[in-house]
Chains A and B, each alone.
Chain A
Amino acid sequence: MRGRAVVRPWGGRVSVRLDPRSVVVFVLLGLAAFAGVVANVGVGEYPIAPLDVIRALFGIESGDGNYGFIVNVLRLPRALVAVLVGAALAVSGAVLQGLTRNDLAAPDIVGVNAGAGLAAVTLIVAFPSVSAVFLPPAAFGGALVVAVLLYLLAWRGSSSPTRLVLIGVGLSAVATALTTFMITFGDIYQVSQALVWLTGSVYGRSWEQVLTLLPWLAVFMPLALLRFRHLNALGLGDEVATGLGARVELERGLLVLASVALAASAVATAGTIGFVGLMAPHIARKLVGPAHGGLLPVSAMTGGATVVLADLVGRTLFAPVEIPCGIVTAVVGAPFFLYLLYRTRKT
Chain B
Amino acid sequence: MRVLRSRSALLVGLVGCSAVLFLCLLASVRFGAARIGTWDVILAFVDYGGSEDDLIIRTLRVPRALIAALVGSALAGAIMQGLTRNPLSDPGILGIEAGAALAVVGSVFLLGTSSLTTYALFAFAGAAIAAVVVYGLGTLGGGMNPMKLVVAGAALAALLSSLTTAVLIFNQRTLEEIRFWLAGSVAGRDLGLLLQVLPYVSVGLLLAFALSRQITALTLGEDVATGLGQRTAWVKFFSVVAVVLLAGSAVAIAGPIGFVGLVVPHVARFFVGVDYRWILPYSALLGAVLLVSADIAARVVLRPQELPVGIMTALVGAPFFIYLARERIKG
* CB-based contact B326/A167 at 8 Å: yes
Interface: B191 (CB within 8 A): no
* CB-based contact B150/A195 at 8 Å: no
- Residues of chain A contacted by B155 (CB below 8 angstroms): 275, 279, 282, 330, 333-334, 337-338, 341
Interface: A199 (CB within 8 A): yes
- Residues of chain B contacted by A241 (CB below 8 angstroms): none
* CB-based contact B329/A163 at 8 Å: yes
Q: Could you tell me the distance in whole angstroms from the C-beta of B127 to the nearest C-beta in chain A? A: 18
CA distance A199 to B325 in the complex (A): 30
Q: Could you tell me the distance in whole angstroms from the C-beta of B183 to the nearest C-beta in chain A? A: 5
Interface residues of A in 133-159 (CB under 8 A from B): 153-154, 156, 158
Interface: B162 (CB within 8 A): yes
* CB-based contact A102/B87 at 8 Å: yes
- Residues of chain A contacted by B154 (CB below 8 angstroms): 103-104, 278-279
- Most chain A beta-carbon contacts within 10 A, residue among B161, B263, B325, B331: B325
* CB-based contact A176/B262 at 8 Å: no
Which of B118-126, B167-175, B193-201, B222-230 sits within the interface?
B167-175
Interface: A58 (CB within 8 A): no
Interface: B180 (CB within 8 A): yes
On whether A153 and B314 interact (CB within 8 A), knowing A103-B147, A105-B88, the answer reads: no
Give the B interface residue count (CB, 8 A). 55
Say which residue of A103, A160, A171, A279 sits within 8 Å of B318 (CB atoms): A171
Q: Could you tell me the distance in whole angstroms from the C-beta of A323 to the nearest C-beta in chain B? A: 7
Q: Could you tell me the distance in whole angstroms from the C-beta of B144 to the nearest C-beta in chain A? A: 12
On whether A334 and B156 interact (CB within 8 A), knowing A169-B262, A341-B140, the answer reads: yes
- Residues of chain B contacted by A324 (CB below 8 angstroms): 169
Interface: A346 (CB within 8 A): yes
Name which residue of chain A comes closest to B305, CB basis. Answer: A185
Say which residue of B140, B168, B170, B314 sits within 8 Å of A177 (CB atoms): B314
Name which residue of chain A comes closest to B326, CB basis. Answer: A153
Q: Mark A51-74, 1 if CB is under 8 A from B, else 0.
A: 000000000000000000000000
Q: Could you tell me the distance in whole angstroms from the C-beta of B312 to the nearest C-beta in chain A? A: 8
Interface: A219 (CB within 8 A): no
- Residues of chain A contacted by B141 (CB below 8 angstroms): 345-346
* CB-based contact A181/B169 at 8 Å: no
* CB-based contact B88/A169 at 8 Å: yes
On whether A184 and B258 interact (CB within 8 A), knowing A163-B331, A177-B311, the answer reads: no
* CB-based contact A102/B86 at 8 Å: yes
* CB-based contact A279/B88 at 8 Å: no
Q: Could you tell me the distance in whole angstroms from the C-beta of B122 to the nearest C-beta in chain A? A: 20
- Residues of chain B contacted by A102 (CB below 8 angstroms): 86-88
Q: Could you tell me the distance in whole angstroms from the C-beta of A345 to the nearest C-beta in chain B? A: 3
Say which residue of B148, B169, B310, B325 sits within 8 Å of A166 (CB atoms): B325
Name which residue of chain A comes closest to B310, CB basis. Answer: A180
CA distance A342 to B142 in the complex (A): 11
Name which residue of chain B comes closest to A328, CB basis. Answer: B162
CA distance A184 to B87 in the complex (A): 30
Interface residues of A in 263-310 (CB under 8 A from B): 274-275, 278-279, 282
Name which residue of chain A comes closest to B322, CB basis. Answer: A170
Query: Helix, strand, loop or mixed for chain B's interface?
Result: helix
CA distance A299 to B172 in the complex (A): 36
Interface: B179 (CB within 8 A): yes
- Residues of chain B contacted by A341 (CB below 8 angstroms): 137, 140, 148, 151-152, 155
* CB-based contact A338/B308 at 8 Å: no
Interface: A109 (CB within 8 A): yes
Interface: A331 (CB within 8 A): yes
* CB-based contact B88/A188 at 8 Å: no
CA distance A330 to B166 in the complex (A): 11
* CB-based contact B168/A195 at 8 Å: yes
Say which residue of A184, A279, A331, A345 sits within 8 Å of B163 (CB atoms): A331
Q: Could you tell me the distance in whole angstroms from the C-beta of B227 to the nearest C-beta in chain A? A: 23
Q: Could you tell me the distance in whole angstroms from the C-beta of B102 to the nearest C-beta in chain A? A: 12
Q: Could you tell me the distance in whole angstroms from the C-beta of B319 to the nearest C-beta in chain A? A: 8
- Residues of chain A contacted by B168 (CB below 8 angstroms): 195
Q: Could you tell me the distance in whole angstroms from the C-beta of A93 to the nearest C-beta in chain B? A: 11
Say which residue of A163, A326, A346 sits within 8 Å of B326 (CB atoms): A163
Interface: A35 (CB within 8 A): no
Q: Could you tell me the distance in whole angstroms from the C-beta of B161 to the nearest C-beta in chain A? A: 8
* CB-based contact B314/A104 at 8 Å: no
Say which residue of A156, A167, A183, A196 sits within 8 Å of B183 (CB atoms): A183
- Residues of chain B contacted by A345 (CB below 8 angstroms): 140-141
Name which residue of chain B comes closest to A161, CB basis. Answer: B331
On whether A184 and B89 interact (CB within 8 A), knowing A177-B311, A345-B141, the answer reads: no
Q: Could you tell me the distance in whole angstroms from the C-beta of B268 to the nearest C-beta in chain A? A: 14
* CB-based contact A163/B325 at 8 Å: yes
- Residues of chain B contacted by A333 (CB below 8 angstroms): 155, 158
Name which residue of chain A comes closest to B88, CB basis. Answer: A104
- Residues of chain B contacted by A198 (CB below 8 angstroms): 165
Interface residues of B in 272-331 (CB under 8 A from A): 307-308, 310-315, 317-319, 321-322, 325-326, 329-331
Interface: B189 (CB within 8 A): no
Q: List 14 A-B contacts (CB under 8 A).
A: A103-B150, A103-B151, A104-B150, A105-B88, A109-B88, A166-B329, A173-B317, A177-B313, A192-B169, A195-B175, A274-B161, A275-B155, A278-B158, A331-B163
A-to-B contact residues, CB < 8 Å: 102-105, 109, 153-154, 156, 158, 160, 162-163, 165-167, 169-171, 173-174, 176-178, 180-181, 183-184, 188-189, 191-192, 195-196, 198-199, 238, 274-275, 278-279, 282, 321, 323-324, 326-331, 333-335, 337-338, 341-342, 345-346
- Leading 6 A-B pairs by shortest Cβ distance: A345-B141, A177-B314, A334-B159, A330-B162, A160-B331, A173-B314
